Structure 1
Amino acid sequence: MAGTFSLQIVSPEGNVLKEDVEFVVLPGGAGELGILPNHSALIAGLDVGVIRYTKNGDIKRAAITGGFVEVVDNTATVLADTAELAEAIDLTRAVEAKERAVKRLAARNNEIDVRRAEYALRRAAARISASSDNK
Structure 2
Amino acid sequence: MSSTFYLEILTPERKFFWGDVESIIVKTPTGEMGILKGHIPTVAVIDIGSIKIKKDGKWFEAVLSEGFMEVKQNHVIILVDTAEWPDEIDENRARAAKARAEERLQRRRSEAEYIQSKAALARAMARLKVKGKYN
TM-score (norm 1): 0.88
Measured against aligned partners, the alpha-carbon deviations of 1:70-104 in whole angstroms (never above 9, x if no partner) come to 11121111011222122211122112211221122
Judge conservation of contact 1:22–1:56 (CA < 8 Å) in 2: yes
2:126 paired with 1:129: no
Judge conservation of contact 2:108–2:114 (CA < 8 Å) in 1: no
Name the % identity: 37
- 2:94 corresponds to which residue? 94
2-side partners of 1:25 and 1:77: how far apart?
A: 13
- 2:23 corresponds to which residue? 23
SS for the counterpart of 2:39 is: coil
How far does residue 2 in structure 1 lie from its aligned partner after superposition?
6.8
Bigger mean CA deviation after superposition, 83-92 or 18-27? 83-92
SS for the counterpart of 1:113 is: helix
Amino acid in structure 1 at the alignment position of 2:109: N
- 1:110 corresponds to which residue? 109
Measured against aligned partners, the alpha-carbon deviations of 1:30-63 in whole angstroms (never above 9, x if no partner) come to 1111001121211111111111111122221111
- 2:77 corresponds to which residue? 77
2-side partners of 1:25 and 1:43: how far apart?
A: 14
1-side partners of 2:84 and 2:130: how far apart?
A: 9
Amino acid in structure 1 at the alignment position of 2:36: L
2:59 paired with 1:56: no
Measured against aligned partners, the alpha-carbon deviations of 1:1-45 in whole angstroms (never above 9, x if no partner) come to 972111110011121111221110011121111001121211111
Q: CA 1:72/1:96 → structure 2, altered by over 3 Å: closer, same or farther?
A: same
Judge conservation of contact 1:7–1:21 (CA < 8 Å) in 2: yes
2-side partners of 1:46 and 1:14: how far apart?
A: 18
Measured against aligned partners, the alpha-carbon deviations of 1:115-135 in whole angstroms (never above 9, x if no partner) come to 211111011111112222234
Q: Let me know the Cα RMSD of the aligned residues.
A: 2.1
Q: CA 1:86/1:79 → structure 2, altered by over 3 Å: closer, same or farther?
A: same
User: Where do 4+ consecutive residues of structure 1 move more than 6 Å?
Assistant: none
- Structure 1: tracts of 5 or more residues without a match: none
How far does residue 109 in structure 1 lie from its aligned partner after superposition?
5.3
